Structure 1
Amino acid sequence: MKTKCYSVRLKSLVQITDKAYKAKSFDGSEDIIPASQLFGRDSDVSKSEAYWISSWILKKKNIQYSTKKIGWFNPKTGNVEPNYTVETTRHIPKQKSPIQTTINKDLQR
């Protein structure tokens, strides 16, 4: 099962135990993140350090984050996959008027 996660830019991320990290965001808020909910570094961000953290734990923690960049962690591959939105449109054909024809008496029963 894939886990929804957000790319979170952090000022610092320090490992305090084998099972927990202390995260500090740019607004000064700090909180402890379980190691099982940290899915690695986001390599697309170059100006600061950004990490993939699960969305459900961020709702419970006091860390500044944005919901703009969403990813899905796949445990089978160990990678974070991008979020795709698929829009489908339904084809509605144009209405056509029936053609008036004369009935061929030879073919009629």
Structure 2
Amino acid sequence: MEFWGTEVKVGETVKIDPEEIEAYVHLSQAALGESKKDKANEPVFLHLKVGEQKLVLGTLSRDKIPQASLDVVLDTEFELSHSSKSSSVFFTGYKALIPDEE
């Protein structure tokens, strides 16, 4: 196992392909970054898109829930995004090598 993490900036989507990094990706935490504006109480929806299916992983709030635990393991290409207009979201976890098929 090895640490894994990515920052999803405001208005952006991050695409991850576990096959390219030859590892399963385990998402274990999401946390709000520093806010650039005074919208501290906006709810921030965390989005995961796999294929054509888009899901909400959870909701963050600067005052009440600035970080959340996750337990999601992915082995196919996926996209991470969020609804914040003032802050990045950091997704962290770990990657585990995909075993050889032989």
TM over 0.5: no
Q: By percentage of residues, which structure has more strand?
A: 2
TM-score by length of structure 2 reads 0.29
TM-score by length of structure 1 reads 0.27
Query: Greater RCO between the two (CA within 8 Å, min separation 6)?
Result: 2
